[in-house]
Structures are given as C-alpha cells and as structure tokens.
C-alpha cells in the first residue's frame, strides 16, 4: 500500500476531507488421520530442533523466549527498555526482529510506548481497565518523513490509556490492529502534521473521546464504542459501534451497520491467580459494543499449561507433535522456517501468535492447514511466501469440506500474508477457505509492491483469497496487488463487511492483465454460479504506474441475480495512473483524468 493524501490542517478537514484530491506515490504429514496432505520434502534448517514429546508448560513461570518482555508496575527502567526496542524496530520494515511487550495488571505512569515494526504491546488483565497507562501507546511516521502508508505489522491490545495530551496517536496502515483498548481521551489516526495514512482496524475498543481519522483513506471499526467520529475520506465502515456516525455513503463516505452479524473476539493472554492463561471469547451474534464493557466477558479461560510454547528454531515436526498430543499452540516472536505445514486437526484448538511470529514455508509447502472441525482459533500470525512457489500458503479446511459449523465456527484473526518484500517469494494462492461458516476477522494479504524480490513475475501470486466454503463471513478484509483475482468467492451466502484493495501496480501492459474478453481481473469476483452473497463498504484502487494507459474494466464482478447484493462500492484511480471503466460489472461511471476522485455505486443491483 502506498496511496497517499496531502497533509491537511484540522481546520480544513470538516468541510473538505470527503473529497480531497489524492497524490499517488510509488513507493505434510497427517495429524491424527484427520488430514491427508502429503509432506513436502525440503531441507530442514540446521537450527531446527528435533521432534520430541512436548513437556508441560509451567503456567506460573513460562519460558517465553528472549523476545518477550514482561513488565509489572514495579519493574525498573520500563521506559528505557521500551525505547530500546523502538530504536531497533522503528524503520526495520523487512527486518527479522520480533517483539512482544506484556504488561501485568496495575497502573503505569509516565510511559510513552512507541511501537515500531513487528512489535506488539499487550495488557495481561481480563479487562483492558485492569492494565492502565497514564501515558500513550504511540505510532507516528518520523522514520518515513511523516508518511504513515507503510506503518504495517504492529499492534496494541487489552490496555487502558490516559493520553498525556488528551489524544493518543495511532498513525498506521494495514496489519496494525488496535484491539480491546480503552482510550480515556481522543484517538488520532493520522501522523503528526496530518500526513498520509492508509489503515486500518479497531475492534472491541472504547474511545471515550473522538476518533480523528484526518487523512486516513479507509478504516473499519467493529463492536466498539466511540464518543464521536470526526471525518471520512473514501471508505469509513462501522459495524456494531455505539456512537458511530449515521450511514451516509458516499458524502460523507460512512457505511454504518447497527450490529455485526457474527463475531468472536481474538484470544488473548492474561495473568490471574499467579499463572498465565489464555482467554477464548465466546461467539456473539448481532453484536454491538465491546465484549468487556458490561461485566466479565463471556468465554473460557485456559491455563497456559494446556499450550505448547513454540520458539524460533522449532521445526514443523515438533510443533505438529505437540498439536497431536492435544495441546494448543502459543507461537512466540521469531521467524519459523518450515519444511512442511503446521497441521491443526483437533476441534477447538487455539493457535495464538504474539509479537508477529512469521512462518516461512520451504520447498513449495503450505505454511498452515486445518481440518474441517469445529472451533479452531487462529490468531496473530504472519506468513511469508518462500522462494519456491507454494500452491497455497494457508488452507482453512481441506478441499471438499462440507461439515456445518454455525454454532462453533473456525475463526481466523490478524492473519497476515506477504509475498515478496522481505525477499523472494511466490504462491499461486495465499489463503483458501474451504470450511463452511468460517469467520475471517481482519486479514491483510499482500503481494508486495516494494522491498526485495518484487516484480510482475518475480513475486508472482495469482490469487489472494479464495473462498469455497458456504456461509463464510469476512470482517475487515484487506487484499492487495495480486496478478489475477485478489478475492474470488465461490461459496454460497458469503458476506463481507469492509474490503480494501489495490490492483497490482506493476502490470507491464494491458495484455498482461487481459482476462479473456474482459480488461483485467476484478478486485473482488463472485463466481457466476453463486445465488446469494452480500457486501458492505467495498473499495478498490488502481495505480498502474508502469503502464498508466491500462484500463481496468471494473473493480467488482458478480452475477446479476436477486440474492447477490452490494452496498456502498467505490473505485479510485490514484493520480490518473490507469482507469476503471465501471465500478461493478457494467455499472458505475468511469474514473477519469488525473483527479483522484472515487466513482461510487450506493447499491447494486
């Protein structure tokens, strides 16, 4: 993502931000007999540890490894330690450092936790208010000249903040969730000076004051409460948010759903009764507001003794052995080189990553696969494609899955996929969802447009997300730059609440993207046989800077039948680099000229 907006003073925001002119800047071994995927032979990295029977985790004093730092209010030198991690990570966009900062319940005064790349800060209470900071958790963009469009891969969770100035700054773009937070003041989503930003995601949070997006191009907020909302640029979507602005798309560009159809919050670590535990929140239907604001949250608390703690250097064989023993999995910060997929075959297994643990499959293997069983929870994982093409990187349920999971679906949260950028990488399809009723809650699936190993064929990746399962719900879907369809939806009764996309920047010419008789592959394609599908607040942008004469036929393609419906669609040509002829199918005005102004469709058909 590198689309940008010019800095805008607050005095001008209220009257003009909805129509600002944008400037574009280039910038398997089976487990328990449940899965039948063969292992892919590849050399095991020399540092990988041999498989062994997992030992029980000491829940009172677990070994989290060297890149997890645990604080309590009496810990000396907290600010200095936070600053040291930030210095390492501030500009390390494609570095190997990974950090998780854990704060035990209590009150911390005078802190400013600045977060760089691959850094997560998390409170360890059952409620955000159990861990309170008289201070800030800050993301800004000084490292990139005030441009926050590359502030990826960092997170804040389960904390209460009383910002020193009254406003906490969280200037981020994709893959930077703000979950289960209580801000006792305002929240600013833009860099200092109102520079460019392109985020973002909030869930299960309470902002007592006003959320101030300023230059943020798009944002999704779910199951939260806000004291106010200042402005919108292109696509601001809220579902289940108390205090959200009224539905008004396209001017201002607000898409507001009173509730979220189905949701379940991300599992999280907490410290209680002298031991570490993982809380697994319960499923909610037609949710509105936070899960924690009306007393004890609903769900199940699991002792960390029921988890295998994996560390950098562990092999897929040893991790799979622990899963086969019936243990859950906690992935600690690090880069994990895998010669075969991690196989999750048991119902209700929790696989939780902290500090952006990164799975890198070798030899064309997948990184992770699940069985078609109830209630698997996958959260907090980054997957990097390896240099040998993987047919698929993450597979939710095997091909042909058909079991019903409505009462206890698999939930995929903060799962991020990257092809290229950190080095050479290729994958035909990034994520395939085969299991029915799966909830995909916040994912950024990215074929890199900058960094190392980047080029139209160098980091070839045809498809971002392919959904084959029925009744799948996506909330907060970010998918960018794929060579063909970014999202291809084949299952029935699918639903998406918020979608952000950019088509691949680097297409060399019109012929390279030709799709039969159609000019280009849609950013979001609903298969022709589908009879029921619905989406709210979906946007696609193009920036064909290599071949600006390219015409993209449409951002969205779907069968024109009564059961397939879209609400609030937009397409944008960034600086006139390429053009959309239509928004959805043959409907919607073309983008034109060099003005970065959205073409919108309020409802379709």
Q: Give residue 400's pLDDT band: very low, low, confident or very high (50, 70, 90).
A: very high
Q: What are 307's strand-pairing partners?
A: 328
Q: Give residue 194's pLDDT band: very low, low, confident or very high (50, 70, 90).
A: confident
Q: Give residue 52's pLDDT band: very low, low, confident or very high (50, 70, 90).
A: low
Residue 144 in 3-state DSSP? helix
SS3 letters across 40-97: CCCCCCCCCCCCCCCCCCCCCCCCCCCCEEEECCCCCCHHHHHHHHHHHHCCCCCCCC
Tell me: pLDDT of 19 over 70: no
Residue 516 in contact with residue 555, Cβ under 8 Å? Answer: no
Q: Give residue 1's pLDDT band: very low, low, confident or very high (50, 70, 90).
A: low
In whole angstroms, how far apart are CA 254 and each of 3, 215, 220, 224, 595? 20, 15, 10, 16, 21
- The residue among 590, 446, 603 whose CA lies nearest residue 519 is 590
Instruction: Count Cβ atoms below 10 Å from residue 84 Cβ, excluding itself.
Output: 12
pLDDT number for residue 594:
86
pLDDT number for residue 20:
27
Distance between CA atoms of residues 591 and 16, nearest Å: 20
pLDDT number for residue 346:
98
Rounded average pLDDT over 575-604: 95
- Catalytic residue selected from 157, 265, 502, 553: 502
pLDDT number for residue 6:
31
pLDDT digits (tens, 9 = 90+) for 558-581: 999 999 999 999 999 999 999 999
Rounded average pLDDT over 380-393: 98
Residue 128 in 3-state DSSP? helix
Q: Give residue 375's pLDDT band: very low, low, confident or very high (50, 70, 90).
A: very high
- Cα-to-chain-centroid distance, residue 46: 31
Catalytic: 502? yes
pLDDT digits (tens, 9 = 90+) for 215-270: 999 999 999 999 999 999 999 999 999 999 999 999 999 999 999 999 999 999 99
Please report the DSSP string for 364-404 in residue order. T--SEEE-S-TT-EEEEEEEE--SSPEEEEEEES-TT----
Write down the mean pLDDT value for the chain. 92
Q: Give residue 33's pLDDT band: very low, low, confident or very high (50, 70, 90).
A: very low
Residue 484 in contact with residue 516, Cβ under 8 Å? Answer: no
Residue 204 in contact with residue 268, Cβ under 8 Å? Answer: no
pLDDT digits (tens, 9 = 90+) for 512-526: 999 999 999 999 999
Tell me: pLDDT of 552 over 70: yes
């Amino acid at each position: 993502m590198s689309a940008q907006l010019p800095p805008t003073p607050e005095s001008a925001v209220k009257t003009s931000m909805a129509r600002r002119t944008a400037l574009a800047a280039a910038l398997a071994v089976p487990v328990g007999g449940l899965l039948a995927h063969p292992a892919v032979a590849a050399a095991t990295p020399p540092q990988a540890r041999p498989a062994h029977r997992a030992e029980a985790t000491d829940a009172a004093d677990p070994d989290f490894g060297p890149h997890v730092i645990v604080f309590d209010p009496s810990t000396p030198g907290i600010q200095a330690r936070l600053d040291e991690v930030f210095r390492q990570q501030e500009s390390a966009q494609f570095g190997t450092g990974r950090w998780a900062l854990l704060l035990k319940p209590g009150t911390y005064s005078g802190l400013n936790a600045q977060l760089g790349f691959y850094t997560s800060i998390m409170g360890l209470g059952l409620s955000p208010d159990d861990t309170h900071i008289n201070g800030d958790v800050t993301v800004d963009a000084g490292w990139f000249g005030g441009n926050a469009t590359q502030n990826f891969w960092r997170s804040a969770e389960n904390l209460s903040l009383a910002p020193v100035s009254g406003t906490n700054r969280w200037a981020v773009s994709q893959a930077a969730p703000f979950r289960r937070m209580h801000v006792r003041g305002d929240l600013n989503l833009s860099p200092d000076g109102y520079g460019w930003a392109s985020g973002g995601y909030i869930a299960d949070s309470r902002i007592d004051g006003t959320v101030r997006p300023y230059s943020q191009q798009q944002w999704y907020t779910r199951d939260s409460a806000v004291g106010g909302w200042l402005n919108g640029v292109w696509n601001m979507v809220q579902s289940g948010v108390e205090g959200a602005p009224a539905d008004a798309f396209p001017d201002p560009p607000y898409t507001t759903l009173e509730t979220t159809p189905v949701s379940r919050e991300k599992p999280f670590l907490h410290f209680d009764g002298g031991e570490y535990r993982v809380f697994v929140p319960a499923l909610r239907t037609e949710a509105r507001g936070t899960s924690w604001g009306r007393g004890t949250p609903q769900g199940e608390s699991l002792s960390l003794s029921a988890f295998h703690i994996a560390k950098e250097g562990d092999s897929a064989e040893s991790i799979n052995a622990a899963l086969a023993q019936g243990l859950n999995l906690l992935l600690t910060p690090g880069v994990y080189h895998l010669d075969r997929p991690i196989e999750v075959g048991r119902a209700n297994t929790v696989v939780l990553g902290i500090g952006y643990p990164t799975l890198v499959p070798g030899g064309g293997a997948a990184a992770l696969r699940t069985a078609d069983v109830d209630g698997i929870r996958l959260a907090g994982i980054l997957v990097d494609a390896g240099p040998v093409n993987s047919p698929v990187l993450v597979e939710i349920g095997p091909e042909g899955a058909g079991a019903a999971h409505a009462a206890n679906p698999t939930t995929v949260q903060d799962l991020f996929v990257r092809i290229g950028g950190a080095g050479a990488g290729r994958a035909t399809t990034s994520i395939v969802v085969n299991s029915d009723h799966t909830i995909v809650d916040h994912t950024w699936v990215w074929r890199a447009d900058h960094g190392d190993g980047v080029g139209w064929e160098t980091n070839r990746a045809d498809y971002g997300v392919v959904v084959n399962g029925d009744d799948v719900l996506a909330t907060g879907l970010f998918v960018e730059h794929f060579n063909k369809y970014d999202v291809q939806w084949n299952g029935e009764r699918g639903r998406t609440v918020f979608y952000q996309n950019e088509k691949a920047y680097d297409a060399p010419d019109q012929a390279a993207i030709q799709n039969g008789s159609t000019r280009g592959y849609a950013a979001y394609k609903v298969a022709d046989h589908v009879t029921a599908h619905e989406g709210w607040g979906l946007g696609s942008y193009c920036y064909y800077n290599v071949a600006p004469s390219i015409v993209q036929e449409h951002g969205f393609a779907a069968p024109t039948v009564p059961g397939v419906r879209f609400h609030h669609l937009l397409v944008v040509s960034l600086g006139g680099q390429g053009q959309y002829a239509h928004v959805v199918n043959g409907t919607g005005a073309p983008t034109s000229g060099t003005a970065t102004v959205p073409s919108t469709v309020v409802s379709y058909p």
